[in-house]
Amino acid sequence: QVQLVESGGGLVQAGGSLRLSCAASGRTFNMYTMGWFRQAPGKEREFVATIRWSGGTTDYVDSVKGRFTISRDNAKNTVYLQMNNLKPEDTAIYYCAAAFALQSRASAAPNYNYWGQGTQVTVSA
């Protein structure tokens, strides 16, 4: 099984940047589609970004396109989320997730097998 640990969250002002990291423990990290989700207080968990295991295909929720970049380093068993030009509406707990050889919709949370505990991102106005 895969265990995921997020890090890199914090408090920043609007327009600032953060880089989130998700370290995975599994031996077959390269076979997992990786995703980032977020949940703000009182709201549903929201898809943010995903990167496929099959060749680096990425996808983002419209609200972060052009500002966030997901990447992975399979040699380090790590996925990253570079967040630039942060906005107050980005404030949430950010969760890393993994799905083994996912062939269905990568934006759907139920398709992911493993989840981290989350890291808090707070963006002040």
Query: What pLDDT score does 98 carry?
Result: 94
DSSP label at residue 66: T
CA distances from 101 to 68, 106, 112 (A): 24, 10, 10
Query: What pLDDT score does 75 carry?
Result: 85
Query: What pLDDT score does 65 carry?
Result: 98
What are the pLDDT digits (tens) for 4-57?
999 999 999 999 999 999 999 977 888 899 999 999 999 999 999 999 876 679
Query: What pLDDT score does 55 carry?
Result: 60
- Angle CA 50–79–62, to nearest 5: 30
Average pLDDT value for residue range 56-61: 91
What are the pLDDT digits (tens) for 72-109?
988 899 999 999 999 999 999 999 999 987 877 889 99
Query: What pLDDT score does 54 carry?
Result: 64
Helix (H, G, I), strand (E, B) or coil at 87: coil
What is the C-alpha separation between 88 and 121, in angstroms, rounded? 10
